[in-house]
Amino acid sequence: MAASDRLGPRALEAQAVLGQVENRPGVPKPDPILVADDVVRRFGGLAAVDVEHVEVQRGSITALIGPNGAGKTTVFNLLTGFDTPDSGDWTFNGRKLAGVAPYKVARLGMVRTFQLTKALSRLTVLDNMRLGATSQRGEKIWASWLPFLWRSQEEEITTRARGLLDRFSMLPKEADFAGSLSGGQRKLLEMARALMVGPELIMLDEPMAGVNPALTQSLLQHIKGIREEGATVLFVEHDMDMVHDISDWVIVMAQGRIIAEGPPGVVMKDPSVIDAYLGAHHTKALTDSGESLTTSPGGEQ
């Protein structure tokens, strides 16, 4: 069951609220931050995504899981404006987002990371972080010749960036080029950088993929920490242990549709979920114990 060790107040609250919610696809939730309706995206004739209805509870850590090719990353792309659906509507904090440019989506407080990390290699770690801050006066082209306009803001941003880097134990690396970091450190940097935007909803696309197991635990703690500070987390993951460990709610996709929803312990015993995984991974052995789904390695690279 969801890890009960060291649960923060917001975790307890989210789990209490979601405990009252029915376990079925498309179920309404008491306080959704994100609501999507009839979102369809076709590649050629194939419907890569066909989501009738889905809600993400504010203050929760929600996992989006499913076999390879289920359309999880495409859902991320669609919701954040990086891809355009053939049809569909969705709202974030009650604001309609269909047709909104991806940079505006981020400014509204819905910030994503990418499955293949996008550390900006030839920028220093600190500059990567600073880039995340919004409403920077110095980002106007003419303002760069008038440094007194943005100096003080730049100092504030730098202080905030260092604070986050410190929390992610990366402060000693601040002057290094981001390209020199290890895979796991890049994941951390990308997550920290996304936090610089000040998101209400942070969407992590496979935060654990390619991360050294030694870093896994601290990464999990950071994600929990993000929620305790008030943000909502939606993440795509293949690592079932991790899903089990930190999520309050799990949404399962297969072949573009949502086939199950519920708390992790419940969903992973759902026969339709097991079928979906079996359909995709014929060879994967499944135990019939409560911990039914074994860790499935690899991603959709």
Chain residues in the site for another protein (CB under 8 A):
43-44, 73-74, 76-77, 80, 82-84, 101-104, 106-107, 111-116, 118-123, 127-128, 130-132, 134, 136-141, 143-145, 147, 150, 154, 177, 179-180, 190, 193-194, 196-197, 205, 301
- By beta-carbon proximity to another protein, the closer residue of 82 and 91 is 82
Residue recorded with tokens 């760069």: 144
What's the min distance (Å) between Cβ of 132 and another protein? 5
- H or E segment at 285? none
Closest CA to 236 of 114, 153, 131, 132: 114
What's the min distance (Å) between Cβ of 269 and another protein? 31
Rounded to whole angstroms, the Cα distance separating 194 from 203 reads 9
What's the min distance (Å) between Cβ of 8 and another protein? 27
What's the min distance (Å) between Cβ of 144 and another protein? 3
- By beta-carbon proximity to another protein, the closer residue of 118 and 162 is 118
The per-residue DSSP string of 213-260 comes to: HHHHHHHHHHHHHHHHTT-EEEEE-S-HHHHHHH-SEEEEEETTEEEE
- By beta-carbon proximity to another protein, the closer residue of 27 and 150 is 150
45 Cβ partners below 8 Å, 6+ apart?
none
- By beta-carbon proximity to another protein, the closer residue of 79 and 267 is 79
What's the min distance (Å) between Cβ of 198 and another protein? 9
Q: How far is CA 263 from the centre of its chain?
A: 17
Structure tokens at 272: 């339709």
- By beta-carbon proximity to another protein, the closer residue of 158 and 216 is 158
